[in-house]
Amino acid sequence: MNGSLLAAPPQLTKFEGSPPEVSIIIPARNEEVSLGDCLQSLTTQTGVTFEIIVVDDGSTDRTRAIAQSFAGVRVISPGPLPVGWTGKNNAMVTGAKEARANWLLFSDADTVHLRGSLARALDEAKKERAELLSYSPQQVVGTFIERAVMPVVFTELAVQYPLHKVREENSKVVAANGQYILVRRTAYDAVGGYAAVATEILEDVALARLFRNAGLRVYFRYGADSVCTRMYRNWAHLREGWTKNLALLFPQSEFLAFQSLLLWLAAWATFGFAIYGASNHHYVWIAFAVFWLPVYLRIKIAHFAAANNLLAIAFGLPMFVYLLLRSRKAHANGHVSWKGRDYTVGMKRENITAKTQAAKPIPRIEDQKLRTGN
């Protein structure tokens, strides 16, 4: 992450009486690698009053200790996981119950927030008359596998869920990115919030659909000016994460896999023709390399660096095909895994209602001091 975002120490001021303008809710399960950067970037926000609630979802590493080391951050634990619910949804519901503000920001522990972004996001939500505002963060990639695969995934997401379509009030295309979702509390409560989508693996899109179906405005855009994230740091986590989600994000996964593989073969074939022509003085054959230009321009919409886009074309497409088919198989078999938990997918939800969670007792809260930015 960009170290310049984290240079200043937290400048927090205690407030009493009036509730804050924004409650920031962070679900965290074994996030010791990223949580410190996330909280450092949030505790230094200015221009708006806020509280930060970290929901430690049964972490076995230093997640809880890191959260407790930040003055003013409230650290709570969710209750037992109801049957069929995902751990993240359970944490979100718990955090929302404890929140006091009129606006709720749900953000993942692997995000880093630019200075002043919280106040700007709140202003933007009000300006756009949005009951749900979501940003797609700038994606930070490090390892070869991240650099090759992530541009392909986010290219296809941009094609499947065009941002201008998502923002159209009567559009059937709706989406949000769970790494950054800001909602008005009254609207969130009216649609049932995360409790209403508690069994959904793809809870961010499901929540956005709830808002859209209720006639509430959803505003979604690329948010590199506000937030960045590194979703996965190795092949094992990347494979598990996209296996959980890809089949849900792309219902026509088999066709997309075939299309992506065909594109990859065509890219390498035309590149081979160009190299052959150059080496044999058939220079007109070099024109075959032009095929890479439209493919590159397509990948470019995902907002990654040029080198990563080229890696995606050369190596990422077949990896994406593998992940798509792996995800489809996992969902067809009815089971996916994430962060040490196994989930049954496609299960009916008639007996898993919001009322079940509403009846749960509020868990004990530690670190009660409440603070805000100036």
pLDDT digits (tens, 9 = 90+) for 273-309: 667 566 766 656 556 567 778 888 999 999 999 999 9
Q: Averaged over 10-17, what is the pLDDT?
A: 46
Cβ-count burial 317-339 (b if 16+ within 10 Å, e if not): bbbbbbbbbbbbebbeeeebebb
pLDDT of 354 over the 80 cut: no
Round the average pLDDT of the chain to a whole number and report it.
87
- Least confident range from 32-36, 182-186, 260-264: namely 260-264
Tokens of 372: 């805000």
Q: Averaged over 152-179, what is the pLDDT?
A: 94
CA 131 to chain CA centroid, Å, is 18
Select the more confidently predicted residue: 272 or 242: 242
Amino acid at 189: D
pLDDT of 152 over the 70 cut: yes
End-to-end CA distance of the chain: 25
Highest average pLDDT, of 9-18, 149-158, 365-374, comes from 149-158
Q: How far is CA 49 from CA 20, 148, 151, 254, 278, in A?
A: 5, 40, 36, 47, 63
Please check whether residue 173 is in contact with residue 317, taking contact to mean a CB–CB distance below 8 angstroms. no
pLDDT digits (tens, 9 = 90+) for 239-268: 999 999 999 999 999 999 999 999 999 888
How would residue 16 be classed by pLDDT, with cut points 50, 70 and 90? low
Q: Which domains does the chain have, with CATH numbers?
A: 3-137+177-233+349-373 (3.90.550.10), 249-339 (no CATH)
- Return the H-helix or E-strand segment holding 268: helix 253-279
- Least confident range from 240-244, 319-323, 353-357: namely 353-357
- pLDDT at residue 281, as a whole number: 61
